[in-house]
Structure 1
């Protein structure tokens, strides 16, 4: 039987590299592992970590096509982060003028959550621990 150990990384393609780099590092607080510019592809690749555990690869390409995100399109639905204090997390985004949905409760787990969007409209969920 296949023995998966963990999710190694999540790869995202952004339309505005500097804007997305700022969002994921300065706003979400992910740390940069390494950053490379691949001239032959006119592409940046930014490796990010959260607490040294999970990695996001942020890519840029010239004129990437838009991907349908909502309503309920097939493919990646959203990226989710676990947080300790949902109210303070939502308040943080509101102080930065980032639209944060109202806090809702998952009908099955009874855990609370809310969504924002990254600079390209990718839904990002914050889920209470």
Structure 2
């Protein structure tokens, strides 16, 4: 048995994990995904010196695109042109990920719905109103469910 100065129980205690560092998604159509995350959702795409040094070669080759969410989490898109889900029906969950949720100011929720409609995004569910707030669910170009949600007003 290997001993270390810290057991896992002492390292992985509440408060030691600081934040989500990044989320990585495989995407079939990089251009459609870049348009979706950059133009429709309005996330900032990292370019030039903003791209992490470890990813410059992949970004230059068009195999990776990096976006940053408003809270600073990095969203990495990895181009996987042969990607096919086991079930092409996006209503059937085909990964362990259920959805990616973005929070929005409640005053902007209706405007977000209008952007989705203007871009002819197929709404999967909603908008729904719950005690936890309002939400609308739709799919990215690869069938991953996306939620835009807000706290109750």
| Rg larger for | 2
Specify which of 106, 113, 118 is matched with residue 135 of structure 2: 113
Across the aligned residues of Structure 1 and Structure 2, the Cα RMSD in angstroms comes to 2.4
Gaps of 5+ in 2: 1-9
Determine the C-alpha separation between the residues in 1 that align with 2:94 and 2:145. 12
More helix by share: 2
Corresponding position of 1:93: 116
In the superposition, the TM-score normalised over structure 2's length comes to 0.71
Q: Which stretch of the first structure deviates more once superposed, 6-15 or 60-69? A: 60-69
Alignment of structure 1 residues 23-102 onto 2, 5 Å:
23-33=36-46, 34=51, 36=56, 38=58, 44-51=63-70, 53-66=72-85, 68=87, 70-72=91-93, 75-84=96-105, 85-100=108-123, 101-102=125-126
In the superposition, the TM-score normalised over structure 1's length comes to 0.82
More strand by share: 1
Indicate the SS of the match to 1:102.
strand
Gaps of 5+ in 1: none
Determine the C-alpha separation between the residues in 2 that align with 1:122 and 1:25. 16
